[in-house]
Structure 1
């Protein structure tokens, strides 16, 4: 690897730009990790988040080191009714279906599932099993999310060192804020449903992309940001209205 490239201002600009893009592309990943790890006992959540993000880092670096292999995934595999499928398309389709199915299942669990006491007992009883299962699920989705990340990196620069550093920086940022995001989501049940709805939307975007119907994530992030801002206003309004309901008579 040639470290002399950092003597050029263009390399630093590329690193900063790509790092920011990687952070943005990692939003859906960190929400998924937060929702899954929040199901674990509190003392195990940080370990699970660290393991999940660490796994994402390892997978993305391995994929970057195998750029030729990744590019090969964009080559046609078969054609059916005029649709030319590539390895990337199949990964996105399977990943999108998994994300929709998992998020829908979580919504049903939160709405129709047992009470908090039952959930707590279940978590304590199957803590180790749940931990391994959650890490496996995070790993599967990391592979899907990594395709967007790696293909974006390839499109931004040809320098492998810049790509790797950008991925490392973005995942460090994710690791720093993962706990806060998870705690924020856990505190408000309505935000949990909103986050799951966002993941369902991302699942549809992945499927559409796998079917060669590209949808700009900018529109998705704007819609989610608007919904989140609306919910934050609702939360603040509910907080302000609480004291008025406790007026002494």
Structure 2
């Protein structure tokens, strides 16, 4: 592997990690209710599923852009998660531990949500590198980083329970972004760009930073 190939490999990995960074928080929230001994396993199975789905997505990237419905449904599901959380736990009480019977349902949802997040990142990766092997290896490294980060986020939420509210708020914000991306894709597929809705990246990351900063300060002060 040449130096140029290595540069492409790590660039693709960084691109995948950056574009799917919000996915780590979503995964952490999804596995949080599972018993502690099942969380790592759920993330592992989600990792294997992600490798399979991303490999297929790279092979059929030309059709991936038509999966606007995956983004719309994924976004709506994330918004549903935050509404359900704050409705059932208005005082920010910790979530009750889920039964081990829900394990495979969580794994399935992890892969479905991951597919929704994969649409924009895979298309960007393909635009960056046409070499399937390099693209897949780079994506694999990026996904591995996201899974490790998700595990760290779960540990952080265990240590500072007040961060749970912040996590769900960020997940809801990511859901809004994902939903709007899906409607934006649909509008272009229908050749109706005037109907396209989009959340500018600066607005999204600015909002995420605001939620994280203000919410984090309040959470740390409360748990101190």
The answer to whether 1:119 aligns with 2:113 is no
The 8 Å contact of residues 14 and 157 in structure 1, kept in 2 or not, is answered as yes
1:27 corresponds, among 17, 21, 29, to 21
| Correspondence 1:1-249 to 2 at 5 A | 6-9=1-4, 11-64=5-58, 66-67=59-60, 70-74=61-65, 87-111=66-90, 119-120=96-97, 123=98, 126-127=99-100, 129-212=101-184, 213-238=197-222
Q: Matched residues in 2 for 1:58 and 1:25: separation?
A: 19
CA 168–73 in structure 1, closer or farther in 2 if over 3 Å, else same: closer
- Answer with 1 or 2: which has the greater Rg: 1
Q: Matched residues in 2 for 1:210 and 1:236: separation?
A: 35
CA 21–107 in structure 1, closer or farther in 2 if over 3 Å, else same: farther
Q: Matched residues in 2 for 1:215 and 1:49: separation?
A: 29
CA 191–215 in structure 1, closer or farther in 2 if over 3 Å, else same: same
**Which consecutive residues of structure 2, in runs of 5 or more, have no partner in the other structure?**
185-196
Q: Matched residues in 1 for 2:172 and 2:159: separation?
A: 21
Deviations 1:107-139 (A, max 9, x none): 3233279x76x934xx3xx31x21111111112
**Which consecutive residues of structure 1, in runs of 5 or more, have no partner in the other structure?**
1-5, 75-86, 243-249
TM-score (norm 1): 0.75
CA 236–204 in structure 1, closer or farther in 2 if over 3 Å, else same: closer
Deviations 1:185-209 (A, max 9, x none): 2333332122211121222212222
Task: Say which SS state the counterpart of residue 119 (structure 1) adopts.
Answer: coil
CA 103–73 in structure 1, closer or farther in 2 if over 3 Å, else same: same
Moved more, 225-234 or 194-203: 225-234
Moved more, 21-30 or 216-225: 216-225
- CA shift at 1:218, angstroms? 4.2
TM-score (norm 2): 0.82
The 8 Å contact of residues 117 and 178 in structure 2, kept in 1 or not, is answered as no
